[in-house]
Amino acid sequence: MYIISSKIKLKKLLLILFSILLISGAVFFVMYRNKKISINAEENKKFIKYVEFNPNYKILKEAMSEDIKSHNSNQDVKIDWIRILAYLATKYGGKFDKYKNNDIKNYVEKVKNGENPEQSLENQKLFNYYLEAYGTILKDFLGEFEYKNKNGETVKTYGLKAHCPIAKGYPFHHYNDFGARRTFGYSRPHLGHDMFCSIGTPVVAVEDGYVEIMGWNRFGGWRIGIRTHDKKRYWYYAHLRKDKPFHPSLKEGAHVKAGDIIGYVGRTGYSDKENVNNIKRSHLHVGLQLIFDESQKDSPNEIWINLYNITKLLN
């Protein structure tokens, strides 16, 4: 009797154990499959992976003026300079070398007459791409802001909110050096813009944001990286002054406003040792990285924008 009942007990126990194994196996399988699916989804996420920004200074200035003019007048139809630029980029394949002088005037006239010039574009997908790519770069350049006039009164206006990275009134010179070869450490293209000026020239934040990195880097020397609040743009300022590179109020995580002094021009960098002047001519290296997805930050797929025409416009 005792033997039979313990046999039954053993059978029951085995059955329970087997069931537990089966259920946990099934649970693990489902978990593993879901993880695999989510990893695949991560890999296939759709986001912009390449951007070139080629509109020249003249085009940028004209498109911007039309936008500002329409916002500061009573006219009902507002012009969006990002749409103008995306329209022209789609029409000319992003190169702008076939741009004609009255292209922007014609676009604005059509919009004012209630027409939609964008509808005539053959490639709407390409237009949407440029709209997102250029929109990510220029999103917060124009808008409403307040300033104090000569009489000390606060005035509200619509216009250019972004600042030139070299403080107003300080001379500098520059040329289009984006993509030029650099050889310190390893051969690579120059993914920024150099603005030559004297040591100590104040460097200002182009846009609002927060300090993401601040300190020494063997290439950039004393450098500071500021991320915009929407996290999509990363402004990088490098080769700052030996001994006193940064504005004393700043630390990682601090918030900065467009136009705030963040540091001072120097010639530090190209050295493993900290606080060393190893750049021949003092200059600010300023870079703009676009981040459509966090996987693009600190990866071989970084997107950097040519700032030559942008800094000319901001000046």
Binding site for Zn ion (CB under 5 A): 192, 194, 285
Q: How far is the CB of 96 from Zn ion (least distance, A)?
A: 24
Strand pairing report for 188-189 and 255-256: unpaired
> Would you say 192 or 221 has its CB closer to Zn ion?
192
> Would you say 192 or 259 has its CB closer to Zn ion?
192
> Would you say 66 or 194 has its CB closer to Zn ion?
194
Q: How far is the CB of 93 from Zn ion (least distance, A)?
A: 28
> Would you say 142 or 195 has its CB closer to Zn ion?
195
> Would you say 194 or 208 has its CB closer to Zn ion?
194
Q: How far is the CB of 285 from Zn ion (least distance, A)?
A: 3
Sequence-ordered list of residues with C-beta below 8 angstroms from that of 241, at least 6 positions apart, any chain: 199, 200, 222, 263, 264, 265, 266, 268
CB-closest chain residue to Zn ion: 285
Rounded distance, CA 127 to CA 94, Å?
Answer: 10
Rounded distance, CA 30 to CA 23, Å?
Answer: 11
Three-class DSSP category at 136:
helix
> Would you say 170 or 196 has its CB closer to Zn ion?
196
Joined together, the tokens standing for residue 75 give 């006219």
Three-class DSSP category at 156:
strand
For 110, counting Cβ atoms within 10 Å of its Cβ (0-12 exposed, 13-18 middle, 19+ buried), the class is middle
Q: How far is the CB of 291 from Zn ion (least distance, A)?
A: 20
User: DSSP class of residue 120?
Assistant: G
The sign of the CA dihedral 305, 248, 243, 252 is: negative
Beta pairing partners, 304: 289
Q: How far is the CB of 50 from Zn ion (least distance, A)?
A: 21
* Contact assessment for residue 232 and residue 290, using Cβ atoms and an 8 Å cutoff: yes
> Would you say 158 or 219 has its CB closer to Zn ion?
219
Q: How far is the CB of 165 from Zn ion (least distance, A)?
A: 12
The sign of the CA dihedral 137, 139, 143, 148 is: negative
Residue bearing tokens 């930050």: 297
Rounded distance, CA 85 to CA 67, Å?
Answer: 11
Q: How far is the CB of 86 from Zn ion (least distance, A)?
A: 28
Nearest-10 crossing angle of helices 81-92, 57-71: 140
> Would you say 57 or 219 has its CB closer to Zn ion?
219
Q: How far is the CB of 225 from Zn ion (least distance, A)?
A: 14
Rounded distance, CA 170 to CA 203, Å?
Answer: 10
